[in-house]
Structure 1
Amino acid sequence: MEKERFSLLLLDPGEIYFEDFSVLFIPPDTTPKTYDTKKQDGRLKMCSKSLVFDPKDISHPIIKILYKDCVVIEQWKGTAKFLNSNNNVLSVNCKEYIELLEKNIIAPYQFKKPANFLFLLNYANVANCLPQMCQLHRASSLPAAEQSDMIATIVHSRQSRDVFDPRWMDLYEKIVIELQTDKVSPLVVNPGRIVLSTSKLYFQPYNKMGEYPIKINLSSIKQVVKRRFLLRQIGLEIYCNDNSPNPHVYFSFRNQQSRDELYNNLLKQSELKLTEMLQDTITLQWQNGIISNYDYLLYINSLGDRTFNDLTQYPIFPWVISNYTEDDLDLNDPKNYRDLSKPIGALNEIRLNRLLERYQEMSSNKFLYGSHYSTPGFVLYYLARLYPHYVLCLQSGRFDHPDRMFNSVADAYKNCLNNMSDFKELIPQFYDVSEGGSFLVNGMGINFGYRHNNSKVGDVELPPWSSGPKDFVQKLRDALESDIVSESLPKWIDLIFGYKQRGEEAVKANNLFYHLCYEGAIDLEAITDRNQRHALEVQIMEFGQIPKQVFRVPHPQRKIGCSILTEPYEITNHSSDTGNWRESTALELSTSFNSHKSTVSHLFISEDGTKITSVGHDSKLKVFSLAQNKQIRSANIGQMPLSSCIQLPNSNVIVIASWDNEISLYDMDYGRVVENVLAHEDAITCMCFDVASNILVSGSGDCTIKIWKGLNNNGCIKPIQCLQKQIDHNSQVNCLSFNSVSNHLAVGTEDGDVYIWEMSGFSLFKKYTSQSSSITAVSYNSDGTKLATGSRDRVFQIIDVNTALPVFSKTLTSSISSMKWRDYLLILGCDDGMLLLWDIFEVKILMEVAAHAGPIKTIDISCCKDDFIATGSQDKSIKVWKPKAKC
């Protein structure tokens, strides 16, 4: 069957198409002799604001008659027998009508003078159709809000009579829930019924438009995302596999309760296997260079409720390049880039000062910019050549004035810098190399008119440094992925999606828009006045909408200089010392030692990888030879449990911490304790040592850390000679981690706080409160920009040190008792005895193994070529693990 030309885009935005009828259209000048040649076979569409006749012959125009322009809609009273002996003819007399798509050419609508139309209904009965048309005709004479209410009543009445056809279902399917909903696509809202079964999701449109019904296998769904629609939490977007007939659908519900009811029931279905896309995982992957700036911006737009299905919330991308006039573009020259730390409206200081003067004169609901950076009109300004039918729909059948169209990239950017009401950002198509810049070309040959200089509107004029649309988009994409943009992109994210989006920070950043642009600015549900609510809904659509706030602290920086990965393990900027772990499929136990009589509290592997030294709650210091596979030394160190041991560099002295509040120096050559010092007023819980600064740090149950210096020089530890600083905390110190690159010390405490101290001046750099649960383990990455933390409530996080933003968070099945981070490999030991190996570069778990019968209290990884991990546990054992090679 030949596809008809009619689409919902030929209606006004938000208009509803109810049903259609097979008809013969009889033009006004038809006579009995010309009837056979002039009659037109087609379909008459009854819609909420118009009647639309779609002729079968595409050389004839589609005729659209607005109810508000109708004088009379009635059953024809004429007597011409050649029309209909049964008098089954509809008569429509109107003051004006519209012709569209004549000869199937996309062009501005033609508005015609008064006419009288006759439609002979082939199968339906005029008496049955006429009451509904007359009711809609009466509604068109009412004020807009009342008209909307009356149409809503008609819609509800019709929809309540519509039922889901169970014949679409398979034999063993069962209906879980059935609700009314609207399918949303750009400028179109199509009402229908959504049905969730045990294996599929169905959408049955009331008007039977398009593929009927939409059927989505639950097994093909990858993501289900709650969305905001017209600033109300009533949207739901569903993403399916690429080979699905409906890879991407968007629904709007009557209220949030209905939306959430479907969402919750959907997640309960066993057929549903969603792809996990955690925000912190994606952010960390972006920081590591696994995800491009382009893909990350698309992801953040999605988090901010921006979608390609809704022009009022279309994805936003920044202007990146500022040079559109010169012959050459050097992407290594910062002068060619826009300042991403400022909103587009603040780039021109002269214009900004004028806007600030106006802002100061305002009384209430003050705003700096009366126009937004993204509205349906702005999106279609860029996409007019690609989607001219969208423009005609939005602008009542007219294209924009030729001189106001998107004719030149340079002019568009210049206007955004200087015009007092133009603050547009860009859209993804400017950076999408897969589309090749097709939106810049008038590929359909649309007649958009002539400009003031008599030049016909054609393709968009590109900068001199571009050889064509593909080259233009490719260079913009290269600029977007450049180190210059990567370094400053977080500042733009802060403005659009982050902490500078609203409130006092937005005021300081000159980033304030009209109050109705912000989510939560007004509660539409609470407004009972129909006219006021309708006016506000129109304003919300036209003014633009601020994205949902995704970040509430400064966005973390990206690692500069890391190229985007094209292969899973194409990593050139990371040490190969731990490379074997990626290539392995599992851990295998190499050896184990069981000579401790109580918990193994701490161990370390010697630099040459030949020995393991450990201490335990049995007050013993033990050394094991891996080559001989046996214990080679055992020594009693006092009478209390030992908590930590460290070997001083270039020395055979072991520093040992004890629960008797003492630090001891044990000389391996002499086989005895050579020095003791009462270091704290409570048990010493942890120690760490920094080789570069020759600093030892001890932490204690007395809520303090103490910094000791000079141990490696004089071979002794005396408070008067070595103690540099005591730093107090609010609760017991549980764990420490030092990073030489950043010269920072991380302290994890019992009350859930993480303190980061600047060691050069012993000042507090950051304080991070994760949860009320105690911090049990901390570990820095190699460059000191990230800190991993583990807590008793089973949560492990990775914190961006500069912003204190948790860029990754994961709740495990057990509490974390120890961790070690080396290069990309983060090793976690848990209270249930599980050993977890995470690839923190690609943010995925590599291996997990049931390693011990009790909590893993200590972990170390070898620095030599022979990769292995040593673990010590409450089960009194020490185990050595090696990567098992792939077959």
Structure 2
Amino acid sequence: MTLTDNPNDVKELIPEFFYFPEFLENQNAFDLGRLQISKERVNDVILPKWAKSPEDFIYKHRKALESEYVSAHLQDWIDLIFGYKQRGPAAVEALNVFYYCTYEGAVDLDAITDEKERKAVEGMISNFGQTPCQLLKEPHPVRLSLEEVEKRKGRLDASPLSIFQHLAELKSFFVEGINDNVPLVKAVVPKNQSHSFITQGSPDTMVTLSQNCLMGTHGWLPYDKNISNYFTFIKDPSVANPKTQRVLGGPFSPGVEVTAGLFVVSHDGKLLFSGGHWDNSLRVTSLVKGKTVGHHIRHMDIVTCLSTDYCGIHLISGSRDNTCMVWQVLQQGGCPVGLCPKPVQVLYGHTDEVLSVSISTELDMAVSGSRDGTVIIHTVRRGQYMRCLRPPCESSLPVSILHLAISYEGCVVVHTCVEGKATLKDKNGLHLYSVNGKHLCTEGLKEQVTDMCVSGEYLVIGSEQGFLSIRDLYSLSLCAAPMAMRVPVRCVSVTKEQSHVLAGLQDGKLIIVGVGKPAEMRSGQITRKLWGSSKRLTQISSGETEYQPACNQN
């Protein structure tokens, strides 16, 4: 992509054109001079009419870079830069010929004995640049189109469909019997589960936690094209037997609401980190043994919220003592085994209890939201204060920050709630901020958010009014009509393949939302080949019944 239509101008766009909108603005108010004719002062970059803002310009550039058109012509660029059109007759025909000094091996600087001549050649190379090494001598093959990729996926047995690419075809299925009539406050498939070559095809672990602290580790197979719901849920037999049930140890503090934000599951699915305990502790529980393996008391008051990063290096806790703490997750053999005895950072700044936290080690961001209505961002490595955000609100009543989420690019989504307001009108709002703290947009909500998470370029939200909704991350607008769940949603998560949304309900049901399949596909008992070539596991898929809340209304 060139900056002009001049065929002699071969400058390419710098990476900032695809991720960094701030470079288009003169935020430091530097004196950049005036235009020669109009004498107008040079300031921010003037954007094309199709871009509403610098952020919109960058977003659309990135979309264009990943578009089908670019994919269909990617091989042409490879041929010109690294391939057979770099040199020779093919390069001449493609008008892709440059000054001879720019080509690899064209000049042997060590062989030039004259110092002036050597410096002159080095100057020419510096001014004209250098052509990359020629890697290919034959035309590069064309990249598969999205349609061809989808067709290939359809022929595979183990390639799940992304829910975000099929938003008009979503169906919800339900699983009962985990802990009937007890709210399900956590349901997650940890993303970094390891399987040895001996147990290929074995299920992942899905972790559930009920409000009465009953833990379950179920089997989860995310894709089987031979069954109508695309997934297999293998229920943990220990949850139904009082003698084998595993319960989170230690009582919660009186008055603490047991919600999804109090718990974090390690990325390998073997540890549960929990807050809200009566002794102000942050506890680590083995999901395999059902026993406490870590007990850390560093906060001066109750731990109110927890979160971990995408890579499982750090965990952050928020407390009623107005502070946050960043903890390093101890690893052994690449697997989490607990927390360091002391926090890596203690973060200050709030004037009221911390209600929500989020962390990204990769972006060096620790974000916290408080009952004081502020969002504070610190660095993870040094604990340095960066900025304080105050989401806009027209109400004079106190505003609390109940939920936070950070995207891969560093966008911060904030859920605010006006405390003391009796009606839902203008009570709840979503706010989007850039990685550098710029307020991008606000969207009012007509429901009370109970949990939310970011997955890719989408925001998934569960509500007290019993709706599961998917919103576009950058505009916060609905991507499809909200799905009715009949009863309040207590937790939401997205599986690592983006194949399903998991939602825990107030009545103890687990709702699994995925891409629907025609009704003529067989259902009922299924047989999956597991643990090698000889052993088979026959299992009733507990979630093959489609969830139709409209039929269940009282």
TM-score band, normalised by shorter chain: 0.5 to 0.7
Q: 2:434 aligns with which of 790, 797, 800?
A: 800
Structure 2 residue aligned with 1:646 = 264
The counterpart of 1:761, out of the listed 375, 378, 382, is 382
AA aligned opposite 1:615: L
Task: Please state if 1:332 is matched with 2:12.
Answer: yes
1:622 paired to 2:228: no
Q: Tell me the TM-score normalised to structure 2 length.
A: 0.56
Distance 1:591 1:651 in 2: 22
Which residue identity is paired with 2:45? W
| Cα separation, partners in 2 of 1:493 and 1:614, compared to 1, 3 Å | farther
Matched, 1:781 2:407: yes
Contact 1:584/1:884 (8 A) holds in 2: no
Contact 1:596 1:620 in 2 (8 A): no
Secondary structure of the residue aligned to 2:45 is helix
Task: Pick closer, same or farther for the CA change 1:882–1:716 going to 2, 3 Å.
Answer: closer
**Residues 828 and 716 from structure 1, CA distance in 2 versus in 1: closer, same or farther, beyond 3 angstroms?**
closer
Q: Give the 3-state SS of the residue equivalent to 1:711 in structure 2.
A: strand
Corresponding residue number in structure 2 for 1:834: 467
1:670: how far off?
Answer: 3.1
Q: Distance in 1 between matches of 2:209 and 2:298?
A: 18
Which is greater in Rg? 1
Return the letter of the residue paired with 2:276: S
Please show how residues 193-208 of structure 1 align to structure 2 within 5 Å.
none
Distance 1:675 1:342 in 2: 50
Shift of residue 738 of structure 1?
A: 1.9
How far apart are 1:829 and its partner, in Å? Answer: 1.1
Change (3 A) 1:803 1:657: closer
Provide the C-alpha distance between the structure 2 equivalents of 1:768 and 1:348, rounded to a whole number of angstroms: 30
Q: Secondary structure at the match of 1:730?
A: coil
**1:686 aligned to 305, 308, 311, which one?**
305
- Give 2:510's aligned amino acid: I
Contact 2:167 2:479 in 1 (8 A): no
For the 8 Å contact 2:187–2:209, the answer to whether it is kept is yes
Per the normalisation by structure 1, the TM-score is 0.37
Residue equivalent to 2:164:
581
Which structure has more relative contact order (CA 8 Å, sep 6+)? It is 2
Q: For residue 328 of structure 1, report the CA deviation from its aligned partner.
A: 3.9
Give the C-alpha shift of residue 836 in structure 1: 0.3
Structure 2 counterparts to residues 813-832 of structure 1, below 5 A: 813-832=446-465
| Letter paired with 1:751 | D
Per-residue deviation at 1:684?
2.0
1:600 corresponds in structure 2 to: 184
> What CA deviation, in whole Å up to 9, does each residue of 1:443-489 have, x standing for no partner?
xxxxxxxxxxxxxxxxxxxxxxxxxxxxxxxxxxxxxxxxxxxxxxx
SS where residue 846 of structure 1 aligns? coil
Partner in structure 2 of residue 751 of structure 1: 372
State the distance in 1 between where 2:494 and 2:374 align. 27
1:492 aligns with 2:45: yes
Report the alpha carbon displacement of residue 779 of structure 1 after superposing the two structures with TM: 1.3
| 1:739–1:639 CA distance, 2 compared to 1 (3 A) | same
Other-structure match for 2:415: 790
Alpha-carbon shift at residue 347 of structure 1 (Å): 8.3
Following superposition, the deviation at residue 744 of structure 1 comes to: 1.0
Of 339, 347, 351, the residue aligned with 1:727 is 347
Q: Which amino acid aligns with 1:654?
A: L
The one-character-per-residue Cα deviations of 1:702-760 (angstroms, maximum 9, x if unpaired) are 22211112433594546xx3322222322222222222431212212222212222112
Tell me: CA distance 1:844–1:632, structure 2 relative to 1, closer, same or farther (3 Å).
Answer: same
How many angstroms does 1:556 deviate by?
A: 7.7
- Counterpart CA distance in 1 for 2:501 and 2:403 is 17
Q: Tell me the equivalent position of 2:64.
A: 563
Q: SS at the partner of 1:581?
A: helix
Matches of 1:853 and 1:327 in 2, distance apart?
62
Decide whether the 8 Å contact of 2:263 with 2:275 is kept in 1: yes
| CA spacing shift, 1:732–1:342, aligned 2, 3 Å | closer
Number of equivalences: 367
SS in 1 for 2:165: helix
Matches within 5 A, 1:505-520: none
| Aligned equivalents of 1:586, 1:822: Cα separation in 2 | 18
User: Structure 1 655/341 Cα, relative in aligned 2: closer, same or farther at 3 Å?
Assistant: closer
Q: CA separation of 1:875/1:768 partners in 2, compared to 1, >3 Å: closer, same or farther?
A: farther
Say which of 840, 845, 867 aligns to 2:479.
845
SS of 1:723's partner is coil
**Which residue among 285, 293, 317 is the counterpart of 1:698?**
317
Question: Do the aligned residues in 2 keep the contact of 1:614 with 1:645 (CA within 8 Å)?
Answer: no
**Residues 735 and 883 of structure 1, relative CA distance in 2, 3 Å threshold:** farther
Q: CA deviation at 1:651?
A: 7.1
What does 1:371-390 align with in structure 2 at a 5 Å threshold?
Answer: none
1:104-253 paired onto structure 2 within 5 Å: none
Shift of 1:860: 0.9
Aligned twin of 2:174: 591
Give 1:595 shift: 0.2
CA contact (8 A) 2:358 2:367 kept: yes
Distance 2:338 2:66 in 1: 50
Map of 2:513 onto structure 1? 881
Contact 2:189/2:269 (<8 A) preserved? no
Q: Measured at CA, do residues 578 and 695 of structure 1 come closer, stay the same or move farther in structure 2, by a change above 3 Å?
A: farther
Q: Which runs of 5+ in 1 are unaligned?
A: 1-319, 353-415, 426-489, 497-549
Encode CA deviations 1:494-526: one digit per residue, 9 max, x unaligned.
Answer: 9x9xxxxxxxxxxxxxxxxxxxxxxxxxxxxxx
Which has the larger displacement, 703-712 or 640-649?
A: 640-649
User: Which residue of structure 1 aligns with residue 40 of structure 2?
Assistant: 423
Greater helix share, structure number = 1
Deviation at 1:764, TM superposition (A): 2.1
Q: Do the aligned residues in 1 keep the contact of 2:375 with 2:390 (CA within 8 Å)?
A: yes
SS of the aligned residue for 1:563 comes to helix
How does 1:335-484 map onto structure 2 within 5 Å?
416-417=35-36, 419=37, 422-423=39-40
Which whole-Å deviations, capped at 9, do the CAs of 1:31-64 have from their partners, x for residues lacking one?
xxxxxxxxxxxxxxxxxxxxxxxxxxxxxxxxxx
> Any conservation in 2 of the 1:664–1:677 contact (CA below 8 Å)?
yes
CA displacement at 1:835 relative to structure 2: 0.5
Do the aligned partners of residues 565 and 665 (structure 1) sit closer, same or farther apart at CA in structure 2, a change above 3 Å counting? closer
- Partner-residue secondary structure (3-state), 1:558: helix
Go from structure 1 to structure 2 and tell me whether the alpha carbon gap of 1:710 and 1:778 turns closer, same or farther (over 3 Å shift).
closer
Q: Would the alpha carbon gap of residues 565 and 656 (structure 1) be closer, same or farther in structure 2, given more than 3 Å must change?
A: closer
Q: Residue by residue, what CA displacement relative to the aligned partner does 1:635-672 show, whole Å, maximum 9, x if unpaired?
A: 22222265533333457332222342222222234332
Deviation at 1:692, TM superposition (A): 4.0
CA positional deviation for 1:331: 5.2
Partner Cα distance (1:577, 1:491) in 2? 45
* 1:585 counterpart SS class: helix
Aligned to 2:125: none
Q: CA RMSD in A?
A: 4.3
Distance in 2 (CA, whole Å) between partners of 1:568 and 1:814 is 40
> Residues 784-832 of structure 1, C-alpha deviation per residue, up to 9 Å, x if partnerless?
2x11222222211221221422x23211211222111111221111121
Question: Which whole-Å CA distance do the structure 1 matches of 2:309 and 2:463 have between them?
Answer: 26
Would you say the 8 A contact 2:453–2:460 is kept in 1?
A: yes
The 8 Å contact of residues 584 and 886 in structure 1, kept in 2 or not, is answered as no
Partners of 1:852 and 1:610 in 2: how far apart?
29
